[in-house]
Amino acid sequence: MPDKLQIELHKPGQPPKLYPANLGIYTIGSDDDCKIVLQHSTIESRHAILIVQDDSISIEDLSGPAGTIVDGSRIKGRIPLRPDQRVDIGPYAFYLRIPPQVFQAPPPVHVAQPPPAAPQIPAPAPAPESPPAFVPPRATIAPTPAPLAPQQPLPAANISAPLTIQQRRMIKQQIHRQLVERLDIKRMTASRVDKDELRDRALKTLRGIVGEISAKLPVGLNPEALIKEVYDEAIGLGPLEDLLEDPDVTEIMVNGPNQVYVEKKGKILATDKSFMDDSSVLAIIERIVAPLGRRIDESQPYVDARLSDGSRVNAIIHPLSLIGPCLTIRKFSKVPFTDRDLIRFGTITPSIAEFTQVCVLFRKNIVVSGGTGSGKTTLLNVLSSYLPETDRIITIEDAAELRLNQSHVVRLEARPPNIEGKGAIAIRDLVRNALRMRPDRIVVG
């Protein structure tokens, strides 16, 4: 895969425009939060996803009746995509182009290897399955194939040696592939299927898949544990789900797909958790940032976000991260800390607590600063708890983390630019706007 690709976008009545297609996941749709915004009545808010990876390009249709057309054929689910194939979404069309200077360099490298494989390509004429070729939609729709891919058979059931991490990962990948093919999870998610219904259908499908292959599973492999791991990775946050539920874990650090560390009681410890591959980590990151209208790709390779419980998230990917996608989650306490907790921890003294409370009540400007993990957000939450219930409070943040208990609170969040470099809204702009909203207090985080 060349290092540089471009998206050639054709809009009705306009000359084509070129945009860089760096490594990453590109949401396509009519919503302003999408990375590629296409406005038309026939285009869904989240219509499709374009995935550009080191060794492959693929596109996945998430729409309803409108559909996504590749080279004149409507697709279903995810299919591989070659440069120069035409993709039609509503009245728009786009191509992935390889700049001439990039395209001319690879041929000498690739010409040396195809000759041995050339005679094998015409043999299976009825089934166009060659790796770079377009896979017809019917090949991805069929619900009746064998549950597992034939090219990587599962270990036989009579294996008595301990299961290696690689073997377990291979089994999970095959089950995950079958789940995605049978359930079409991303389309269900995009169409706002009820969370409970999605969970029930996913678990039912997983139990069916595992039941079909139970005779091939290695001895000692717990089917229920396998179902939970694949479910978490397909629907939730993968191996991080258990860590997020652990009350002793205060921070989670993912260093690529194979290393997951946690902080417990101030100490950093390695865990036995891992992801299937880089794509799995990227999918988890996309699952976190997409609902917030944020993006992460090679042109914007790091992002701050939050989980639904307010936990703070930072993600960074290639080319800035050389070991694969990295994810850091700072968990928030289930019960917010109070000034009494900070006094008990020795963070502040009773006199400092009283002094800061007086400063807040008398509307003094307060700046909270400190190093990483020093408790800035925790202290700011404590200071905010002193604000009177009668005040109108407006919070402005890069990634919303503050948790205020008052009833009259307006929460604003900055927004990064889309793929066209438009739509960015900075904290400065939000502060200016907040002054017109009749605030009693403004909290900038």
**384 or 174, which is more confident?**
384
Query: Residue 169: is its pLDDT beyond 60?
Result: yes
132 in a domain, yes or no?
Answer: no
**289 or 151, which is more confident?**
289
Q: Which of the residue ranges 149-158, 197-206, 326-335, 373-382 would you say has the lowest mean pLDDT? A: 149-158
Predicted confidence band at 3 (pLDDT cuts at 50, 70, 90)?
low
130 in a domain, yes or no?
Answer: no
Q: Which of the residue ranges 118-127, 286-295, 301-310 would you say has the lowest mean pLDDT? A: 118-127
Last residue of some domain: 304, 330, 356?
A: 330
What is the three-state SS of the chain? CCCCCEEEEECCCCCCEEEECCCEEEEEECCCCCCEECCCCCCCCCCEEEEECCCCEEEEECCCCCCCEECCEECCCEEECCCCCCEEECCEEEEEECCHHHHCCCHHHHHCCHHHHHHHCCCCCCCCCCCCCCCCHHHHHCCCCCCCCCCCCCCCCCCCCCCCHHHHHHHHHHHHHHHHHHHCHHHHHHCCCCHHHHHHHHHHHHHHHHHHHHHHCCCCCCHHHHHHHHHHHHHCCCCHHHHHHCCCEEEEEEECCCCEEEEECCEEEECCCCCCCHHHHHHHHHHHHHHHCCCCECCCCEEEEECCCCCEEEEECCCCCCCCCEEEEECCCCCCCCHHHHHHHCCCCHHHHHHHHHHHHCCCCCCCCCCCCCCHHHHHHHHHCCCCCCCCEEEEECCCCCCCCCCCEEEEECECCCCCCCCCECHHHHHHHHCCCCCCEEEEC
pLDDT digits over 202-221, tens only? 888 888 888 877 777 777 77
What is the mean pLDDT of the segment spanning 257-286?
87
For position 366, what pLDDT does the model report?
92
Query: Residue 259: is its pLDDT beyond 80?
Result: yes
What is the mean pLDDT of the segment spanning 420-431?
86
Residues 87 and 19 in one domain: yes
For position 105, what pLDDT does the model report?
39
425 in a domain, yes or no?
Answer: yes
126 in a domain, yes or no?
Answer: no
pLDDT digits over 301-322, tens only? 888 888 877 788 899 998 899 8
pTM: 0.52
Q: What is the CATH number of the domain that holds 288?
A: 3.30.450.370
For position 199, what pLDDT does the model report?
78
Last residue of some domain: 311, 330, 349?
A: 330
Which structural domain range is residue 164 located in?
Answer: 143-235
**Phi and psi of 59, rounded to 5°?**
-135, 140
Contacts of 301 by beta carbon, 8 Å cutoff, 6+ apart: 24, 316, 317, 318, 319, 320, 321
Residues 249 and 209 in one domain: no
Q: Which of the residue ranges 17-21, 101-105, 245-249, 433-437 would you say has the lowest mean pLDDT? A: 101-105
Residues 38 and 100 in one domain: yes
pLDDT digits over 31-43, tens only? 877 888 888 888 8
133 in a domain, yes or no?
Answer: no
218 in a domain, yes or no?
Answer: yes
Residues 177 and 258 in one domain: no
Residues 50 and 102 in one domain: yes
60 in a domain, yes or no?
Answer: yes
For position 162, what pLDDT does the model report?
60
Residues 74 and 114 in one domain: yes
Predicted confidence band at 419 (pLDDT cuts at 50, 70, 90)?
low
Residues 251 and 223 in one domain: no
How many domains does the chain fold into?
4
pLDDT digits over 368-408, tens only? 988 877 788 888 889 999 999 999 999 998 877 788 888 89
Share of the chain above pLDDT 70, in %: 80
For position 355, what pLDDT does the model report?
94
What is the mean pLDDT of the segment spanning 233-247?
83
Q: What is the CATH number of the domain that holds 440?
A: 3.40.50.300
